[in-house]
Amino acid sequence: MTSHHIANEIHHVVREKKPFSLVDDLLMSRWFLYSMSVILFLGIWYYVVYIDVFGRGLCYPHEVITEIIRLTSRKLAGKELWEHAWDSSRRVFIGFGIACVLGIPLGFFMGISKYFNAVFNPIFNLIKPMPPISWVSLSILWLGIGEEPKIFIIAIGAFVPLVLNAYNGIRLIDEELYDVVRMAGGSHMKEIWEVSFPAAVPAIFAGLQIALSGAWSCVLAAELVSSRSGLGFVIVQGMNTGKAAMVIAGMLLIALIAYVCSFCISYLERKICPWRRDLSTH
Amino acid sequence: MSHYQHVKVHRQRALVVLPIVSLSLFFLSWELVVDFGLVPQTLLAPPSAVVKMFFAKLTSTAPDGLLLQEHAWISIKEAFLGYFLALLVGIPLGLAMGWFRLAEGLARPIFEFIRPIPPIAWIPLTIYWFGIGLTGKVFIIWIGGIVPCVINAYAGVRMTNPVFLQMARLYGATSWQMFRTVCIPSALPMVFGALQIALAWCWMNLVGAELLAANGGLGFLIQSGRKLGRPDLVVLGMVTVALTGVIIGLAIDRIEKKLLAGMRR
Cross-chain CB nearest to B226 (options A37, A141, A238): A141
The reply to whether residue B129 touches residue A57, judged by beta carbons under 8 angstroms, is yes
Domains of chain A, start order: 6-53 (no CATH), 70-272 (1.10.3720.10)
Q: Which residues of B touch A134 (CB under 8 A)?
A: 207, 219, 222, 237-238, 241-242
Q: How far apart are the first and last CA of chain B?
A: 40
pLDDT range class, residue B208, cuts 50, 70, 90: confident
Phi and psi torsions of A74, nearest 5°: -130, 150
The residue-averaged pLDDT of A152-178 equals 88
Cross-chain CB nearest to A115 (options B18, B43, B166): B18
> Greater confidence, A146 or B86?
B86
Q: Specify the CATH number for B51-259; select among 3.40.50.620, 2.40.30.60, 3.30.1330.40, 1.10.3720.10.
A: 1.10.3720.10
Return d(Cα B156, Cα A281) in angstroms, integer.
Answer: 10
The residue-averaged pLDDT of B211-222 equals 83
pLDDT tens profile B120-137: 888 888 888 888 778 888
pLDDT at site A1: 41
The reply to whether residue A138 touches residue B238, judged by beta carbons under 8 angstroms, is yes
Return d(Cα A96, Cα A91) in angstroms, integer.
Answer: 8
pLDDT tens profile A193-226: 888 888 888 888 888 988 998 899 888 888 888 8
Return d(Cα B132, Cα B136) in angstroms, integer.
Answer: 6
Q: How far is B175 from chain A (nearest CA, A)?
A: 10
Task: Report, in angstroms and rounded to the nearest whole number, the Rg of chain B calculated over CA atoms.
Answer: 24
pLDDT at site B159: 86
The reply to whether residue A251 touches residue B226, judged by beta carbons under 8 angstroms, is no
Give Cα A121 distance to the centre of its chain: 25
Task: Report chain B's mean pLDDT, rounded to a whole number.
Answer: 85
Q: Which residues of A touch B26 (CB under 8 A)?
A: 122-123, 126
Amino acid at B156: G
The reply to whether residue A134 touches residue B238, judged by beta carbons under 8 angstroms, is yes
pLDDT at site A222: 87
pLDDT range class, residue A12, cuts 50, 70, 90: low
DSSP for residue A58:
-
pLDDT at site B265: 46
- Is residue B10 scored above 90 in pLDDT? no
The residue-averaged pLDDT of A35-63 equals 85
Choose, out of A10, A113, A133, the residue to mutate when testing the contact with B (most B CBs < 10 Å).
Answer: A133
pLDDT at site A282: 36
The residue-averaged pLDDT of A140-149 equals 84
- Is residue A35 scored above 80 in pLDDT? yes
Half-sphere exposure of B20 (CA within 13 A, CB side): 5
pLDDT at site B133: 79
ipTM surpasses 0.90: no
The residue-averaged pLDDT of B174-193 equals 87
The reply to whether residue B154 touches residue A282, judged by beta carbons under 8 angstroms, is yes
Q: What is the DSSP string of chain B?
A: --HHHHHHHHHHHHHHHHHHHHHHHHHHHHHHHHHTTSS-TTT---HHHHHHHHHHHHH--TTTTS-HHHHHHHHHHHHHHHHHHHHHHHHHHHHHHHH-HHHHHHHHHHHHHHTTS-GGGGHHHHHHHHTTSHHHHHHHHHHHHHHHHHHHHHHHHHTS-HHHHHHHHHTT--HHHHIIIIIHHHHHHHHHHHHHHHHHHHHHHHHHHHHHS-SSSHHHHHHHHHHTT-HHHHHHHHHHHHHHHHHHHHHHHHHHHHHTTT---
The residue-averaged pLDDT of A248-266 equals 90
Q: How far is A193 from chain B (nearest CA, A)?
A: 25
Q: How far is B261 from chain A (nearest CA, A)?
A: 23
Provide the residue ranges of all domains of chain B, joining segments of one domain with +: 3-38, 51-259
